């Protein structure tokens, strides 16, 4: 009997760091989990320590915005509002007005387009209107707005139907637009969370214009210059598999741009695009508008600090 107990104990104890009990335990846990079904985590608002008012204050502090009266309604979905009204009707209670964020989301989209239009023109003063419209459409696309809402952490605040912590993209889309409509300073919120999505991205890679030749000639015509002239300024490996051509575009005796490619046509296309980059002020080596905005903000903080220190005057230790 003692020998049998020793054998059972040896089966469960670890031998030189090997835990024999781990694999049987995990198997039993897997079987029980399969029998119980998928575990659905409850909503964050269902916890006892959840306080929506304090959590909303913390969200506003984190986002750097001021809380307003309409901010609570910006998180109420249409399905949740209909469900609450139906509950009051079933209980025979007077119907209280429950405002959803459907109308606020529509007005927020219009407001966001207006703010983005002015800020994009401020950041890229030389870009044509069609490029700015494309960037605006890119920033207000549903996928981008859902991503921004996730970065803000709006999932726990949305009043919705159903169970679980997963929030549908449609609810996040409406919530972020309604929140943008509810804030008092939309310009700062747009600059910090929406416009900054272009940071690190090439405008020409996003825009990708097609007829660059006509665009460059039109730009030269507006400046009263003749159409551009392409010149071969260098080549290597002609008639080989690794051929490379350097082409430059000129107008009015000045080089507008240059580019390289495996064929002369490809090099010409790169050169024309380089000329457009220089004309629109979006070259790769130029300082980005976001860097200029950061430098301006830093300069304002330094100026404000120096002004505050000068107003206080010198302090002498006793």
**Per-residue pLDDT of the chain in tens (318 residues, 90 and over written 9):** 555 555 555 555 555 667 788 899 999 999 998 888 877 777 777 777 888 899 999 999 999 899 988 899 999 999 888 888 888 888 888 877 888 899 999 999 999 999 999 999 988 889 999 999 999 999 999 999 999 999 999 999 998 887 777 889 999 999 999 999 999 989 989 988 999 898 888 888 888 888 899 999 999 999 999 999 999 999 998 888 889 999 999 998 899 999 999 999 999 999 999 999 999 988 877 666 777 676 777 777 787 666 666 666 555 444
Residue 317 pLDDT: 46
Residue 199 pLDDT: 84
CB 257 within 8 A of CB 277: yes
Secondary structure (H, E, C), 171-203: HHHHHHHHHHHHCCCHHHHHHHHHHHHHCCCCH
Helices (H), strands (E): how many in the chain?
13, 3
Residue 276 pLDDT: 94
What are the beta bridge partners of residue 258? Answer: 248
Sheet holding 244-251, edge to edge: 229-236, 244-251, 254-261
Dihedral angle of Cα 50, 56, 58, 60, to the nearest 10 degrees: 170
Domain ranges for the chain: 2-36, 52-198, 225-280
> Which DSSP letter does residue 169 get?
H
Residue 171 pLDDT: 93
Residue 261 pLDDT: 94
Residue 39 pLDDT: 74
Residue 252 pLDDT: 86
Please tell me the distance from the alpha carbon of residue 86 to that of residue 92, in angstroms, as a whole number.
10
**Has domain 225-280 been given CATH number 1.10.238.10?**
no
What superfamily in CATH does domain 52-198 come from? Answer: Ribonuclease III domain (1.10.1520.10)
């Amino acid at each position: 009997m003692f020998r049998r107990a020793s054998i059972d104990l040896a089966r469960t104890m670890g031998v030189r760091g090997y835990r024999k009990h781990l694999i049987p335990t995990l198997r039993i846990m897997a079987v029980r989990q399969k029998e119980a079904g998928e575990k659905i985590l409850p909503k964050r608002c269902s916890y006892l320590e959840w306080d929506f008012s304090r959590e909303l204050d913390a969200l506003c502090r984190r986002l750097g915005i001021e809380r307003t009266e309409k901010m609570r309604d910006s998180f109420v979905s249409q399905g949740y509002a209909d469900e609450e009204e139906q509950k009051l009707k079933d209980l025979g209670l007077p119907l209280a007005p429950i405002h959803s964020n459907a109308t606020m989301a529509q007005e927020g989209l219009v407001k966001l387009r207006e703010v983005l239009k002015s800020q994009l023109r401020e950041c890229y003063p030389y870009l044509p209107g069609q490029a700015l419209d494309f960037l605006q459409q890119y920033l207000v696309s549903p996928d981008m707005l859902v991503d921004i809402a996730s970065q803000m952490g709006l999932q726990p605040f949305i009043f919705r139907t159903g169970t679980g912590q997963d929030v549908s993209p449609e609810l996040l889309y409406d919530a972020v637009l309604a929140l943008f409509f509810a804030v008092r300073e939309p310009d700062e919120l747009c600059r910090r969370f929406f416009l900054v999505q272009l940071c690190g991205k090439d405008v020409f890679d996003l825009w990708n214009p097609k007829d660059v030749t006509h665009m460059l000639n039109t730009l030269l015509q507006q400046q009263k210059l003749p159409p551009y002239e392409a010149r071969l300024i260098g080549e290597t490996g002609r008639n080989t598999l690794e051929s490379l051509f350097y082409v430059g575009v000129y107008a009015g005796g000045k080089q507008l741009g240059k580019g390289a490619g495996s064929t002369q046509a490809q090099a010409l296309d790169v050169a024309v695009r380089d000329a457009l980059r220089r004309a629109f002020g979006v070259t790769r080596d130029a300082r980005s508008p976001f860097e200029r905005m950061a430098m301006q903000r830093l300069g304002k903080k330094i100026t404000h600090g120096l002004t505050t220190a000068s107003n206080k005057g010198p302090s002498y230790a006793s």
